[in-house]
Amino acid sequence: MNGFWVNKKTGLLYEDGNPVKQVIAADMGGEITPQLLVMHYTASGSAEGSIKHLTLKDAVYVSAHLCIDANGSVTQMVPFNRKAYHAGVSNYMGRTNCNDFSIGIEMVNWGFCGAEGAPRTWTGQQLEVTRCMQSKHKNGGPLGWWEKYTGVQVQVCTEVAAALHVAYNLSDIVGHDDISPGRKQDPGPAFPTAEFYASVLAAVETSKAPVEAPTFESGVLATLAEFETRLKRLENA
């Protein structure tokens, strides 16, 4: 069994028959029925740091279902059938509180890197020009630098999005900047939106979801019950 697929009973993602890496988010809500996929960037250059931020138990109530690194590695933090806190104040075609019906994917990417001089991240780190592109955001703003997404990152994201569509028959794929315009600008103009959507639809047409879950390997977090057990331990820590 090759590629990505979703176990709808547990809300967990598999790659080549095994669960992807999992790190439990402290901020996890109740059950949801996913209808929308929301694309984000992390505004950082590190998957490790982003995952720590998205799973930390603190006063900042934030989480996401998945994080996809620049090298294509995938980490799941919240089961797809549970609410993650990624969208904030949001509106999709008149429906508010998009966290209640959406899946959030965070892609490791710095996003906007300034409008003047060489590209620099919000932390002050200078990036090579070849890692970036210049563009205006579709929602307005100055001509500026944006970090490019890697080819393998976009490809993996395409395959994951197709698996999610097969599992949940999603109604749409949007950016955070679509449901929170003016407040958010991710995934930004460097994300190849049109090509991504077309590739996802093509992948959906050729995909076949397995009907049985693969054998769980010893020591791998593989059921929603285990997610909940570990979450309760975290809450009581």
| pLDDT tens digits, one per residue of 73-111 | 999 999 999 999 999 999 999 999 999 999 999 999 999
Name all domains of the chain by residue range, CATH numbers in brackets.
Answer: 4-109+149-236 (3.40.80.10)
Tell me the CA distances in angstroms from 119 to 107, 127, 191, one per residue in order.
Answer: 19, 6, 17
Model pTM?
Answer: 0.87
Q: Any idea which residues carry the catalytic annotation?
A: 106
Structural contact between residues 175 and 138, judged by C-beta atoms closer than 8 angstroms: no
- Under 8 Å CB-to-CB from 19, ≥6 apart: which residues? 12, 13, 76, 216, 220, 221, 222
pLDDT in tens, 51-81: 999 999 888 889 999 999 999 999 999 999 9
